Each structure stands twice: as C-alpha cells, then as structure tokens.
Amino acid sequence: MIKKKILQAYEEMAERYNELIEHKPHNAYYDRPNTLSLIPEVRGKAILDAACGPGKYAEILISQGATLTGFDLSPKMIRLAQERNGDSGRFFVHDLSTPFKTLDDESFDIVLCALALHYVEDWTQTIKEFRRVLKPKGHLVISIEHPFFEYNYFKSKKYFEIEHVKCTWKGFGKPIEVNSYRRPLHECLLPLTENGFYIDSLLEPKPTKEFENYDPKHYKELNAFPAFMCIRGVRKLRTLETIFK
C-alpha cells in the first residue's frame, strides 16, 4: 500500500522532476556533487544505478566512460532515463526491495543508490543484493536523508524506531504527498556492516556555492545542519554467512 503510494507520487511528478533535475539545488548543488565525490574512477567500470530516476547520474557517469545499468520503480522515470541516455545505458523497471533476479553475481564494480533507500522499510535484502551483484572489493555509494534531519523534520518522538512518515512536496507542480521511512543512525549503518560491507567513507555534505544563487535560505540552513548523508561501503571478500556455510 505504501509502495503503491510512493510509485503513484513519482509517476505523477516524473516529467517535472526530469525538467528540474539539472538545476534543482538540493540535487544539483548538494546531493550530486557530494555523492559523486565518493565514487571512484569510473572509466571502463560497470555501474548499477539503483533507483536511477530520470537518469541524470547515469548521464554524468556514462559521459565519464562508465557502462551503465539503471533501474527504478517508476516506469515513467525509466522512459525518461532512456530518452536522456539513448542507447548508452540499459534501463528497466524494478523494485529495490525485491531480488535483482536479472542481474548476475559479481557483475558490477560500483553500485550507486542516490536518495532512494528511505523508500525501503527493511534494507537487509536490498543491501544483500547490492553485495551479491558487486565484484569483490566493489564499491557501494549511497545518499540518504540524514537521520537527525528527518528526526527533527518529522517531529518524531520515537528516535529508535523505523517509522512510516509522509510530507507534501510543493516544488514539482501541484502538491504531492510523499511517503517514506525515517530511521535512526544505527539503522543506516548496521544494514551495511552486517550484510557484507566495510564503511570506508561518510559525508555530512555541505552545499556548493552555486546553491546560494538558487536558494539562499536553504543554503544558509544546510551550512548549519545537514539534510543528507552520503556513505561509501566496500564489499567485504567474505561474510560470516559464507565463512560458516
């Protein structure tokens, strides 16, 4: 039911999201530069962009020489990603919280998942799938809403729980209700470390200077308190599960 609402929201805003993605400050001058800074050299590398949206990250990574596969829950987002990238990438509709059956074991050097994991209640299966499709020592780079920001924003009284939350986005045409899950800090880190990753970098990002030209109010706020968090994990060679199998 919640997933259906998330899908409906993104289907409804896909066109507008795509039109704005180039310069929308939180994406263009906050999330993307910081998340991209965690991605190692991509030339000649196979990258999975999980929840790729309209394929802006894909466009950047392809232009830098990566071979790109992307998926997203929203068929409209996938059509837009295909239109943006032509034959340069392979894109298909898929749900992040179900097994990536069409993707082979150890077939990617890098998995990217930007601003999407807060739509998944239980990360365990998703992170296990990220690990399965990554080559040994491959990199997982994710960006998520910062757990402390969400705790304040949603006026939570239950820090330690994973909570279903919703808010209304007004920046994409008519107001759209967006459902997601907020979680405490340990629920952002332990799913990685317990399912086959070392965490080797963590960013509490600051906006780039260009952000200020588009949105001075949020520029000031984001320099005082983070809204997003970017994490890089490295695939462990073996997990406890495989050692004792």
Q: Which residues bind ligand SAM (CB under 6 A)?
A: 6, 10, 27, 51-53, 56-57, 72-74, 77, 95-97, 114-116, 119-120
Q: Give the shortest CB-152-to-ligand SAM separation in angstroms.
A: 20
Q: Give the shortest CB-130-to-ligand SAM separation in angstroms.
A: 13
Q: Give the shortest CB-72-to-ligand SAM separation in angstroms.
A: 5
Residue closer to ligand SAM, measured from CB, 166 or 238: 166
Q: Give the shortest CB-78-to-ligand SAM separation in angstroms.
A: 9
151 and 182 Cβ atoms separated by less than 8 Å: yes
Q: What are phi and psi of 209, to 5 degrees?
A: -60, -35
Residue closer to ligand SAM, measured from CB, 109 or 129: 129
Instruction: Provide DSSP, 152-219.
Output: HHTT-S-TTS-EEEEEEE-SSSS-EEEEEEE--THHHHHHHHTTTEEEEEEE-----HHHHHH-HHHH
Q: Which residues lie closer than 8 Å to 31 by C-beta, 6 or more apart?
A: 114, 115, 143, 205, 228, 230
Q: Give the shortest CB-243-to-ligand SAM separation in angstroms.
A: 31
Q: Which residues lie closer than 8 Å to 243 by C-beta, 6 or more apart?
A: none
Q: What are phi and psi of 135, to 5 degrees?
A: -70, 160
Residue number closest to ligand SAM, CB atom: 53
CA distance 3 to 102: 21
Residue closer to ligand SAM, measured from CB, 125 or 239: 125
Residue closer to ligand SAM, measured from CB, 50 or 134: 50
Q: Give the shortest CB-17-to-ligand SAM separation in angstroms.
A: 7
Residue closer to ligand SAM, measured from CB, 208 or 239: 208
Q: Which residues lie closer than 8 Å to 18 by C-beta, 6 or more apart?
A: 54, 77, 80, 84
Residue closer to ligand SAM, measured from CB, 7 or 46: 7
